Structure 1
Amino acid sequence: MKQTQKNLVALLALTAAAAGLGLYAWYGVKEPDTREAERKQVSEQLFAAPEAGAKDEDGKAPPAPVFTKLTVKASGGTTELAREKDGTWRVTSPVSARAETAAVEAMTSTLASSKFSATVEEAPTDADLEKYGLKTPVFSVTATASVGSPAREHTVTLHGGIENTFDGSVYVRREGDPKVYAAPGAVRWSLDRDSFALRTKEFLGPLEEPSLQSIEVKAKANAYLLARDTGGTGWRLVKPVAERADEVKVADLLTALKEQRALSFPADSAEARQKLGLEAPVVDARFTPATGEPVRLRLSQVTEGGETKVYALREQGSQSLLGEVPESALAVLDVGVPELKDKRVLAFRREDVKRLVFHPGGGAEPIAVARVTGTDGGAGVWEVESPKQGKAQHFKVASVLGSLDTFKASAFGEAKPKSWAKYGISDASRGAVLQGADGKELARLWLGNEVKDKPGAVYARGSGPDVLEVSATWVELPAKVEDVLEAPPSPADGGPDATAAPTP
């Protein structure tokens, strides 16, 4: 290449570089500055009520809007919600269901408090709307609220577009207003919600324990019937055995059911129930309340495309609801008798106990204490009756009684043994007897031998018919009368043997 040609090539390269720098200066600096200048900063509420920013005659701001209706269009569907008289929200379309409280509160809070951050276009063209995702909105929310004082209804419809990938904001338009605004990205997160997101996932409950009278379960490994005690507070096992039931365990079962959250809500039909195995369920349970229709709950397990799924059908009267639930839901009600049986060692009411007789064992004399009502009609104090008489250590006796009330077995042993002696339990065993005001025995505890290979555990006999394994240190029963007898004042404290002070 000749020198003149080389010079020409170099000149052209320099010219191109200069042009590139010019274009960079325009598109990289000048044009963004121009666009930024066109984005007018604004601070206007999304839900702009006519009284926004106004003050009443006392100079106070108007009350916050109280939302009563919401219509949300997102993910190709429309969800309608209404506020109930008690303040809760309910999905009214496309289904009737309780609303997901957190999702609705996030939506109403965003509508009431969030503001546009900038005006992007004052008079957008169709091409502009297409660019911002607002020609066919990504989501729309129509919100009706009670505003102002005196209160009146006001409705606002917002349309959301695409996300600005530069700062995460979302393009928004308000119906009746031609402008395109920018709003914080959190606005899209709160408002762009489909029907599944807006309805509650806790559909197996509510099953309020105090209102139920019976619970019948047929599961894969276990079947049982629980019935309310005649007193109306506790529970008892009716089948497969007749035993006191663990009230805490029953309440925990119902809580665990309530906490199961739906993964999806398939369309319910006779064909769908058959296909999903609900006509031959793995778990079939019936909850009968004191008033109203029983609740039937069926759970099935099927394999779809190599994946195991669990479905639940909740029916009450004419209402039914089908949902997919986690696989762990199958095990919630499938529990055995040992888990359902009451693990309390003694069944009694603490306020009924008026007398305690402690048996130290080993042939030692029993220690009897009794509650004596005070002259003021109060709760009374404890006094030692035998083998000595005197005022008892009130806190000590109350502590022992409290320990006996909360004493629970760590495990169940032999059911209804023919011989208690092999467990070291007899009438001469260490233990305690609890009596009522009429001297009637309310409960009795016997403590026996240590449990083999379980340090710190001993065999026990309580209010039930079975051998129990309990902690040897849970309750400290008095071994001698001095353990509960209040010591008399010493001479230094002015006791009976103190030397009388001389008369001045």
Structure 2
Amino acid sequence: MRTSTVVMLGLMAMGPWACSRDADKPAAPPKLFATGAEEPRRGAPPAPAPVFTHLTVKARGATTELERTPEGWRLLSPVEAKADAYVMEALLKQLSSAKFKATVNASPSEADLKKYGLTSPTFTVTARAWLPDANGEGAEDPSRQRTVTLVGGDENPFDGSVYVRREGDAAVYAADGAVRYALDKGPFELRDKAFLGQLDLASLQSMEVTAKNNAYVLMREPDGMSWRVEKPTQTRANAPMLKGTLMRLAEQQALSFPQDTAATREALGLDTPVVDARFVAVSGEPIRIRMAQVTRDGEPVVHVLREQGTRSTLAQVEARTLTLLDVDIQELRDRRVLVFQRDAVRRLEFHPGGQAAPVVVTRGAGNSDAWQVEGPGGGRALPFRMVKVLAQLEGLRTARFVEAKVERWEPYGITAASQRVVLRDADGRELARLWVGNAVPGMAQIRYARGSGPDLVMVYLSQLANIPTRAADFLEPPPADPDGGAPAP
């Protein structure tokens, strides 16, 4: 009892001292972007982050103005361009959540500011934002508007932190090195390097390309999905290949953005480009892309000029960009042997060749997966077998184009007696037809063939090996005789 009394008296005596110790503790370092809002109590949901609307970044000897738009952040000056989404994400994250590590000097002198590199700052960022209320609103409320200017100086070599000062606050703070990395950005770092914009095949109507080795014109078909080559010859175009080519082109990153002037264009050879391409969109102004190459210090240097209406962008890119559109007719051509919509097929006729009767397989009405083999020895066809056959026919690809617009097919073994497959729709209209001809001389594993197009092509024998020729190829085999066919006793 005596001991408890002593302890209680001691705690009562220490109370004022302990309170004074807590009062003497320095306050936690403030956030970079001070909003004046109270910190939420422990356990309470976090306060909504400020919504930044405008930034002025002075760094790397230039001033960059940026603004948030419904489509994302954009540079307003020194050029008008889309901002780099990843760079902006890192910058805004530091502004909205980073805190100073410590207070370095609460009342610095001019000599101190010079020592910290703050009389001639490395970077200055002025950020404007608004604070959402509990409902996420308040963008137009003047009382919720905030503007903060941060000035960054030298790096502390001891721990990599950076000296920072805030406008209206005399103190010098230390901020983590990540703050400097995110905020110390010039126009090039802040700008989106993928400058060519979206070149989506689905949004284009035509393409005309003149390159070093090849020139071609492509047009969208009336169905809105397929493409055709108009020049140098008329044929179906390889749409997946075109889509991939445009994606690779649009993904090219600028290595630099030279000033776009008439003198610069002439010096870089863009008045006589190596590649000159024109893309006509379904809607909107056409896009023209020119590429040229010069030699510097014995190395090729490639520049691309993108023009659309009154807007233009000049950029240096990797040398390989020069070859992306320089593709020949063999790459441009559709390599599918047969072109048809699988769901439209309701009847297949498999002609084994010679005078043999065809094997006919028909599909039930609607979207039924029930297939029936017609004729003697027929019956219900195995659904998985039909799926496999249609996939095989749809997947046939040309090994090589031989001749366009053939006048005489007989020398290649393509006649009325050839092995062939005919695909028809519900009304009996022909959707596609495959003719299989002779073996290519000196190439036993390759056959001449004729498909949906007018060209003579070559097809690997392995692609044709499993095309059915008998009704039994579609049917489930009969069950084995349990007694092995032994005579009855």
Report TM bin, short chain.
0.7 to 0.9
Alignment of 1:484 onto 2:474: yes
Pair 1:442 & 2:434 matched: no
Q: How does 1:214-363 map to 2 (within 5 A)?
A: 214-361=206-353
Name the residue aligned to 2:67. 82
Task: Say whether the 8 Å CA contact 2:336–2:396 is kept in structure 1.
Answer: yes
Tell me what 1:120 maps to.
104
> Which of the numbers 416, 427, 450 marks the counterpart of 1:427?
416
- 1:98-154 CA deviation, whole Å, 9 max, x = no partner? 111111111111212222112211211222222221111101111112214153221
Partner in structure 1 of residue 88 of structure 2:
104
Partner Cα separation in structure 2 for residue 453 and residue 80 of structure 1? 68
**d(CA) in 1 for partners of 2:419, 2:262:** 63
Q: CA deviation at 1:304?
A: 3.6
Alignment pair present for 1:473 and 2:462: yes
1:221-266 C-alpha deviation (Å, 9 max, x unpaired): 1111000101111100011100000111111121111011111111
Task: Give CA deviations for 1:321-378 in whole Å, capped at 9, x if unaligned.
Answer: 11112111111111111000001111111122110112234654421101111xxx54
| Matching of residues 107-256 of structure 1 within 5 Å | 107-149=91-133, 151=138, 152-256=144-248
The percentage of counterpart residues that share the same residue type is: 50
Equivalent in the alignment of 1:369 = 361
2:57 pairs with 1:65: no
Q: 1:399 aligns with which of 383, 388, 392?
A: 388
Contact kept in structure 1, 2:29 and 2:103, CA below 8 Å: no
After superposition, the Cα gap between the structure-2 partners of 1:458 and 1:188, relative to the gap in structure 1 and judged at 3 Å, is farther
Give yes or no for contact 1:79–1:195 (8 Å, CA) kept in 2: yes
- Give me the CA root mean square deviation: 2.5
Residue 404 of structure 2 is aligned with which of 415, 419, 422?
415
Q: Is the 8 A contact 1:42 1:117 kept in 2?
A: no
Name the counterpart of 1:7: none
**Secondary structure in 2 matching 1:197:** helix
Rounded to whole Å, the distance in 1 between the matches of 2:342 and 2:223 is: 16
Q: What SS does the corresponding residue of 2:74 show, helix, strand or coil? A: strand
Instruction: Pick which of 377-386 and 251-260 moved more.
Output: 377-386
Q: Quote how far apart the aligned CAs of 1:456 are.
A: 5.1
Query: Contact (CA 8 Å) 1:366, 1:386: kept in 2 or not?
Result: no
TM superposition score normalised by structure 1: 0.83
Alpha-carbon spacing, 1:410–1:145, altered in 2? closer, same or farther (3 Å):
farther
SS of 1:321's equivalent? Answer: strand
Unaligned segments of structure 1, at least 5 residues? 1-39, 493-504
Aligned residues: 449
- Give the aligned partner of residue 12 of structure 1: none
Aligned to 1:3: none
Q: TM-score, normalised by structure 2?
A: 0.86
- In structure 1, give the amino acid aligned to 2:418: S
Distance 2:359 2:65 in 1: 71
448-457 or 381-390, larger mean C-alpha shift: 448-457
- Residues of 2 paired with 1:230 and 1:211: CA distance? 14
Q: Secondary structure at the match of 1:145?
A: strand
1:390, 1:486 within 8 Å by CA — same for their partners in 2?
no
Letter in 1 for 2:472: E
Q: Which amino acid aligns with 2:231?
A: K
Q: Distance in 2 between matches of 1:443 and 1:234?
A: 16
Contact 1:205 1:257 in 2 (8 A): no
Query: Could you report, residue by residue, the CA deviation over 1:21-58 in whole angstroms, capped at 9, with x for unpaired residues?
Result: xxxxxxxxxxxxxxxxxxx79443222222252369x9
1:49 aligns with 2:35: yes
